């Protein structure tokens, strides 16, 4: 059966008696509906996914698969679909059970044609209002978010990114966000979620570089009681908890090969196996992943699986560093100052022209996150309503002449050499403070410690 193309409300009629199906089909067609029939509950289950009906009209008592099972499957496919149950043996208890199970209406056979059509029209109007309400909520969320970080900016690069995000949001395609730390990858992931059909579901996220492998797998996939020391009860993994919503995996490039295998299975089969379990658990979450690494280079060195990369890289969005979209700095700065004022219940402070000029000249290794932190500090240290250069961090006001990669290094340095030089430079710019360096870099301190240990770089605690 193919999905309907008519604008009429399409109704899936389910019964195990062919005569009833044909009678109802003719009646509904004559009354302005688009009827489709399923002979029994088993055929209805096979039909729901492709048809996605506006209304389901089903008998309760059918062999093999009954109407209550059709009801459950219908609402699993589309929570907004109204389901009308028909029965020849109605009781108050069965009616209450049907309503409690989520039925829109419960009608007893034999019923009059006018009665049934009136119920179907109410169901169609209920469906229309639910769909319009959800669409309106999404539009309101979209408009509200224009005042947030994600929509702040007028550069062509940023506007192109937003348009691409808006295009892919209604789909369930996996998205891979790439860019330096602090460029707003999680912000964009939330933007995609809030413009998607999963907006009423949860948005859950995890930083894959912040946890050791054993704990990360438990957080991702869950575990069963007794599967390891300290597992005193079953735990639901985030993949499962994000059902009907979006799951955001940040720093996915920091995962181990063993974890990557399990992530690949989750994407391929839409199921996970909790730690210590033998049975798979189905999952229904849209996946958005992010990385500040070059995964193609990591594939060449064996750090990242190519099959997982191609599963993730369905829709790739690259977020440029702030230094490549300097024209957005004034708008971002104004936004952060306005938000700071609102949180403190004060009038927003303003940047002096020379202060803004300094901000636009700075390289911003920590990108938008570093700009936000610098302005938060400036607001606190400014007694008046005009922010001067003197309250900006020294790393921003000082002009450093030394290059990031010196002439003594190879003309074509490796990615690891560039990363080492970049981390060293950031660490030096914050006086060797590792916690502050991790904040500027936008990574977890434990991730920074591992990198420093590998590179043999020292710093203060």
178 confidence band (pLDDT: 50, 70, 90) = very high
Domains 10-135 and 148-320 share a fold: yes
- Per-residue pLDDT at 2 exceeds 80: no
Q: pLDDT at position 421, please?
A: 82
Asked if 81 and 131 touch (Cβ cutoff 8 Å), the reply is no
Q: Among 31, 28, 66, which residue's Cα sits nearest to residue 45? A: 66
Report in angstroms the alpha-carbon separations of 457 from 94, 200, 415. 71, 46, 17
* Rounded mean pLDDT, 230-255: 89
DSSP-H helix ranges across 85-168: 92-100, 113-144, 156-168
Q: How far apart are CA 340 and CA 219, in angstroms?
A: 33
413 confidence band (pLDDT: 50, 70, 90) = low
**Residue whose tokens read 């500090």:** 377
The first and second tokens of residue 431, run together, are 């006086």
Report in angstroms the alpha-carbon separations of 321 from 18, 105, 335, 367. 64, 55, 18, 6
179 confidence band (pLDDT: 50, 70, 90) = very high
Q: pLDDT at position 440, please?
A: 82
Structural domain boundaries in the chain:
10-135, 148-320, 322-399, 404-461
pLDDT, tens digit (0-9, with 9 covering 90-100), for 58-79: 998 899 899 989 998 998 888 8
* Averaged pLDDT score across all residues of the chain: 85
**Higher pLDDT among residues 1 and 447, named by residue:** 447
pLDDT, tens digit (0-9, with 9 covering 90-100), for 74-83: 988 888 899 9
Q: What percent of the chain has pLDDT over 70?
A: 87
Q: Tell me the angle at which helices 18-30 and 113-144 cross, rounded to the nearest 10 degrees.
A: 70
- Per-residue pLDDT at 391 exceeds 60: yes
Q: Which run of H or of E encompasses 105?
A: strand 105-108
pLDDT, tens digit (0-9, with 9 covering 90-100), for 34-57: 999 999 999 999 999 888 899 999
- CATH for the 148-320 domain, from 3.20.20.70, 3.40.50.300, 2.170.190.11, 3.90.1300.10: 3.40.50.300
- Which CATH architecture describes the domain 10-135? 3-Layer(aba) Sandwich (3.40)
How many Cα neighbours within 13 Å face the side chain of 133? 8
- Per-residue pLDDT at 253 exceeds 90: yes
Which CATH number is 322-399 given?
A: 1.10.8.60
Phi, psi of 269 (to 5 degrees): -105, -5
Topology of 404-461 in CATH? Answer: Arc Repressor Mutant, subunit A (1.10.10)
The first and second tokens of residue 253, run together, are 């490039």
């Amino acid at each position: 059966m193919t999905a309907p193309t008519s604008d009429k409300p399409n109704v899936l009629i389910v019964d195990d008696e062919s005569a009833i199906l044909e009678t109802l089909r003719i009646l509904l067609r004559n009354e302005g509906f688009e009827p489709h029939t399923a002979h029994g509950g088993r055929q209805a289950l096979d039909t729901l996914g492709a048809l996605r009906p506006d209304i389901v009209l089903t008998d309760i008592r059918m062999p093999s698969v009954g109407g209550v099972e059709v009801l459950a499957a219908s609402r699993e496919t589309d929570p907004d679909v109204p389901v009308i149950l028909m029965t020849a043996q109605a009781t108050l208890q069965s009616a209450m059970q049907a309503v409690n199970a989520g039925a829109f209406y419960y009608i007893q056979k034999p019923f009059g044609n006018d009665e049934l059509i009136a119920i179907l029209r109410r169901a169609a109007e209920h469906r229309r209002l639910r769909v319009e309400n959800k669409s309106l909520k999404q539009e309101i969320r979209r408009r509200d978010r224009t005042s947030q970080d994600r929509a702040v900016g007028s550069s062509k690069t940023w506007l192109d990114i937003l348009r691409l995000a808006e295009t892919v949001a209604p789909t369930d395609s996996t998205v891979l966000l790439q860019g330096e730390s602090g460029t707003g990858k999680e912000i964009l992931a939330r933007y995609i979620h809030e413009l998607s059909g999963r907006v009423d579901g949860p948005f859950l996220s995890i930083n894959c570089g912040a946890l050791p492998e054993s704990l990360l797998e438990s957080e991702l996939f869950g575990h069963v009681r007794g599967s390891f020391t300290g597992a005193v009860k079953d735990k639901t993994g985030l993949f499962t908890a994000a059902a009907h919503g979006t799951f955001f995996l940040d720093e996915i490039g920091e995962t181990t090969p063993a974890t990557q295998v399990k992530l690949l299975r989750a994407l391929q089969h839409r199921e996970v196996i909790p730690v210590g379990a033998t049975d798979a658990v189905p999952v229904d979450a849209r996946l958005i992943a992010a990385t500040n690494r070059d995964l193609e280079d990591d594939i060449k060195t064996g750090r990242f699986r190519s099959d997982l990369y191609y599963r993730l890289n369905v829709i790739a969005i690259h977020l440029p560093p702030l230094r490549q979209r300097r024209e957005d700095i004034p708008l971002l700065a104004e936004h952060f100052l306005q938000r700071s004022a609102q949180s403190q219940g004060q009038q927003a402070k303003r940047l002096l022209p020379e202060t803004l000029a300094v901000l636009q000249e700075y390289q911003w290794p920590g990108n938008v996150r570093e700009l936000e932190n610098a302005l938060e500090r400036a607001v606190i240290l400014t007694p008046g309503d005009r922010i001067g250069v003197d309250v900006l961090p020294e790393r921003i006001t000082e002009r450093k002449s030394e290059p990031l990669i010196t002439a003594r290094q190879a003309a074509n340095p490796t990615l690891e050499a560039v990363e080492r030089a970049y981390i060293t430079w950031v660490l030096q710019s914050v006086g060797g403070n590792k916690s502050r360096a991790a904040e500027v870099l936008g990574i977890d301190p434990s991730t920074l410690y591992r990198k420093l240990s590998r590179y043999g770089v020292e710093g203060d605690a």
